[in-house]
A = this chain, B = another copy of it.
Amino acid sequence: MTTSKKGRTLDGDAGFLLSLAGGRLIRNLNRELESFGLRARHYTVLMATAEHGGLSQRELGELLGIDPSAVVALVDDLQREGYVRRDPHPDDRRTRLVVITDSGRDAFAKASELATKVDDEALGALDEGERAQLVQLLRRIVS
């Protein structure tokens, strides 16, 4: 077969493989977080606020790849649970800084354990070095 209409294959398509793997991890994490009443998206917001104190909602959205309008609903949920606060920005009254609470840190620590379990299951086929390699490659793609 020497025609040029070869196209691509499932197991060589990086985009397909990335979204297939990512989708699985999100579904599994959602299932684990169900007992918390949270979803994977809430977990990433907690992770971002635990890591960076006092992000604006705009910054949160950019960091996590979430639309600003969606950030509102996520922060609403977390605030209702007492996991984050919305503090006023000292210099700009339009901006609200999202700050994680102590209770939010507790929730994040517990959710992290579940997330680690999910990752370990999904990435079980890789050893430590390969896993670090994967994370490095992904980091360079998304940055």
Contact = CB atoms under 8 A, between A and B. Distances in A.
Contacts of A37: none
B15 A119 contact: yes
A133 to B, nearest CB: 7
Given A15-B25, A15-B119, A130 B138 contact: no
By size class, the interface of chain A is 35 or more
A16 to B, nearest CB: 6
A101 interface: no
Nearest to A50: B7
A115 interface: yes
Given A22-B23, A125-B140, A137-B133, A115 B15 contact: yes
